[in-house]
Chain A
Amino acid sequence: MSSKVIHALYDDDDVLLNAVKEVRAANHHIEEVYTPFPVHGLDKAMGVAPTRLAIMAFLYGITGLGFAIWFLNYIMIVDWPQNIGGKPSGSFLENVPAFIPVMFEMTVFFAAHLMVITFYMRSKIWPFRKAENPDPRTTDDKFLMEIEVDGNEDEMTSLLESTGAIEIKVKEKH
């Protein structure tokens, strides 16, 4: 394993996108790309697998709905089947119209919050977490590609230079 990485800095998203494609075509592994805003098509160009967060949100929503049905049924029908203003309390289905608003809200509540929490956990972002972008300019207007160097430093440097990088930095990996 090499202990060095190259940081190539770009100042344009289109140049970066082309560079990513070229570096990938030359069979180099891109460790990471840091951008100040979502560059559309970057994940495809890098070959990042699609995210499954939407699937999780769907499952969380189903969980919320199931939970709401269970607890509305338990409270209103099983535990205290009372007559409140003539509303039928004999079975869940008899009184289901009155339960729909809460069932709906619980579905949304579970889907939204659990998905966001999943996102935070998976992307490792939470309060007091230290930022790991190697160059502060990458949250402003620069785009940074990080590539591992495996004894081919000069070759990598010239390749990156040809892709229009404005700054190439060879760094100790940490």
Chain B
Amino acid sequence: MMGHYEAPIREPIITGDKSYHDVTLDVVAPIEGKANKSWYIAFTIALVAFLWGVGAIIYTIGTGIGVWGLNNRINWAWDITNFVWWVGIGHAGTLISAVLLLFRQKWRMGINRSAEAMTIFAVFQAGLFPLIHMGRIWNGFYTLPVPNPLGSLWVNFNSPLLWDVFAISTYLSVSLVFWWTGLLPDFAMIRDRATKPFQKKIYSLVSFGWSGRAKDWQRFEEVSLVLAGLATPLVLSVHTIVSFDFATSVIPGWHSTVYPPYFVAGAVFSGFAMVQTLLLIMRKVSNLEDYITRVHVENMNKVILVTGGIVTVAYLSELFVGWYTGSSYEDFVYLSVGAATGPYWWAFWSLIMCVAVIPQFFWIKKIRTNYIWTFIISIFINIGMWFERFDIIVINLSRGHLPSSWTMFSPTFVDIGIFVGTLGFFFVLFLLYARTFPVIAQAEVKSILKSSGNNYKRERDNPTAKKEEVKKETVIIKEEVKEEVAIEKIDIASDEEKQAKTNSLLDSLGKFDATTQKPDDLKKISGIGPVMETTLNQIGIYTFDQVSKMTNKEYDLLDSITGSFPGRAQRDDWAGQAKKLKS
């Protein structure tokens, strides 16, 4: 057990005295069970919002961008605000799965799967905006450098908007394969448990035939590590490139060299807030309280505190540099009509409150470790970070170099509708994910169970109170080897005693009528091989229905008839298995 040593100061991150099998059962519970009423209510609301958004998008494309609240001066507003907001949210997923993997943080295991799902779904939403904010979306493919009959006419690689195309598509595709590769062992587990044929087919398809060989695992871990090493600079570069949309411009308030790191810090900040919002609900709804514990929530709050601090420092440095440059345009940015005292003062102060002030409450341990407070503050952060992007984009555009083009922006219902639609779409995807995907990376959680499970830690801390060793008996099975170890054929008819037992067995299980019923493939029951199936058929047991009625009494009868492998049927729970196969 030395390999699982961990300093006693570390708190357990898996509670509830879990065994490996318990982890399996907890992870598959939402998938194998049925959705409850609140899931359907939430799903319906999300679906309605999504459809409303689809309507707003179709209206925009059909009528023109003029249905939005944009004007001549403020030509980016909710569209790009929402784009940056969604991309930012997506960053926490990669941070949790990649950066925390590089730093060997074990607490990432409980949350990485859902955080990555959140990344993927958030980047889907983000990816919509660069498309639908185009005036001519049907020419969108011109952003790709594809040989064409116009010369070839290429794209201009000087534009950060083109860098965005490369950054977002690389980010989405790499995140997707990273996530999917991690899912293979978990899908394989569901596949091997599935009893319904359709479910089995689906999970066989998506698990790509994962078998969990030693070599597979060795490669799997190497791939995860290298992908984490690639995803970390990727996640930094993607939001850096998004920040270039503004930082490379000449607009006062946008042209700033602090943007790349500051946007990335903001992305991690807002992303973690969204992870908190989602997981605090999910741990309750999906009964994952033992895997997403107080320790996870507190650690995430600490990351929020750090990145929130970085963002606040960036605000202060912007303020300082705005004053220090002596540029009268830059001077506007914070203290003048450009922000704090202008017509958008409410947006500016909401930002300061939600991002720079409220998260500072996490310095207090009582608040940091409290689920309710964490949830409330995470909502404030989500709102605050939306305002950050809105302020950067809209306030700076509304008060530019030339006072004659100063203007205001107000969104139309289409702007709002599309944003609501992306929220709906996000939750549609996330809710479907929560019911069909293993939301905890069970293979990873199992690998840290012995170092971080509370039962194992307890044993380690009190070696005297160690569990008594249960001596396990080895079961040796040779029945599935045909010919060599063939079971003696049971001649039932000749043995009167056996005949009587058989009759009483069939009385309780029900007789098989070959004219109306079809025999089932009893080999599907684990523990029944071809030989045993023949034996059962000789006795007169052909269907799952019959097997499912077996109780201890019938097991004993069966054992005494066949005279082989006593207790086998009971141990493998043939009746339970048959019951599942029957349905």
A171 to B442, CA, bound (A): 30
| Known A-B contacts A140-B21, A161-B474; A79 and B214 likewise in contact (beta carbons under 8 Å) | no
Option from A43, A76, A140, A165 in Cβ contact (under 8 Å) with B157: A76
Choose one: A57, A105, A168, A171; the contact of B226 (CB below 8 Å). Answer: A57
Interfacial chain B residues near A13, Cβ < 8 Å: 450
> Would you give the shortest CB distance from B110 to chain A, in whole angstroms?
14
B189 and A36 contact, CB distance less than 8 A: yes
Q: Verify if A25 is at the interface (C-beta below 8 Å from B).
A: no
Which A residues lie within 8 Å of B145 (CB)? Answer: 71, 75
> In the complex, are the beta carbons of B157 and A172 less than 8 A apart?
no
Q: Could you tell me which residues of chain B, from 74 to 94, have a CB within 8 Å of some CB in chain A?
A: none
Q: Are A140 and B24 within 8 A (Cβ)?
A: yes
B300 is an interface residue with CB less than 8 A from chain A? no
> Count of B residues near A, CB < 8 Å?
81
Interface bits B155-191 vs A (CB < 8 Å: 1, else 0): 1111010110011001001100110010011001101
Is B284 in the interface zone, CB < 8 Å from A? no
1/0 per residue, CB under 8 A from B, across A107-151: the answer is: 011011101100110111111111111001111110000000000
Q: Is A102 an interface residue (CB 8 A)?
A: yes
- How far, in angstroms, from A112 to B234 measured CA to CA in the complex? 11
With a CB–CB cut-off of 8 A, which chain B residues contact A113? 173-174, 177
- The minimal Cβ–Cβ distance linking B10 to chain A, given in whole angstroms, is 18
* Docked pose: A138 CA to B210 CA in angstroms: 11
Query: Would you call B472 an interface residue if the criterion is a C-beta within 8 Å of the partner chain's C-beta atoms?
Result: yes
Interchain nearest-CB distance for A6 vs B (Å): 10
Tell me whether A170 is interfacial, beta carbon within 8 Å. yes
> Would A112 and B481 be within 8 Å (CB), given that A51-B218, A75-B155 are in contact?
no
Question: Is B181 a contact of A119 with CB atoms below 8 Å?
Answer: yes
In this assembly, does B508 line the interface, its C-beta being within 8 Å of a C-beta of chain A? no
Identify the closest chain B residue to A129 (Cβ): B209
Inter-chain CA distance A139–B217, complex, in Å, is 12
Which B-chain residue is minimally distant from A82 (CB atoms)?
B156
Chain A residues within an 8 Å CB radius of B219:
51, 53, 119, 122-123
Instruction: State whether the Cβ of B58 lies closer than 8 Å to any Cβ in chain A.
Output: no
- In the complex, the answer to whether B189 meets A139 with C-beta atoms within 8 Å is yes
Asked, given contacts A72-B157, A108-B230, whether A164 binds B177 with beta carbons under 8 Å apart, the answer is: no
Contact indicator A36/B158 (Cβ below 8 Å): no
Chain A residues in 8 Å Cβ range of B163: 101-102, 105
Per DSSP, are chain B's interface residues mostly helix, strand or loop, or mixed? helix
Find out whether the CB atom of B3 lies under 8 angstroms from the CB atom of A40.
yes
Chain A nearest CB: distance from B302 CB in Å? 27
Report whether A131 and B191 are in contact in the complex, using a CB–CB cutoff of 8 Å.
Answer: yes
Chain A residues in 8 Å Cβ range of B173: 109, 113
Contact partners of A51 in chain B: CB under 8 A: 215, 218-219, 222
- The interface residues of chain B lying within 8 Å CB-to-CB of A111 are 226, 230
CB-CB under 8 A for A141 and B21, given A87-B158, A98-B158, A123-B216: yes
CB-CB under 8 A from A72, the residues of chain B are 157
Alpha-carbon separation in the docked complex, A131 to B152 (Å): 47
* Chain A, residue nearest B478 (CB): A170
Docked Cα-Cα span, A80 to B240, in Å, equals: 28
Question: Per-residue CB proximity of B49-90 to A under 8 Å, as 1/0?
Answer: 000000000000000000000000000000000000000000
Q: Does A62 contact B (CB under 8 A)?
A: no
Bound form: Cα–Cα A75–B144 in Å: 12
A134 to chain B, nearest CB (A): 9
| Residue in chain A with minimal CB distance to B28 | A140
Is A166 in contact with B174, judged by CB distance below 8 angstroms? Answer: no
Of B231, B446, B481, which contacts A4 at CB under 8 A? B481
Of A36, A51, A166, most B-chain CB atoms within 10 Å:
A36
Min C-beta distance of B189 to chain A, whole Å: 4
Q: Select from chain B the residue with minimum beta-carbon distance to A123.
A: B216
14 contacts between A and B (CB under 8 A): A14-B3, A40-B447, A43-B214, A43-B218, A105-B241, A108-B230, A109-B174, A112-B177, A115-B223, A119-B181, A123-B219, A125-B208, A166-B474, A170-B476
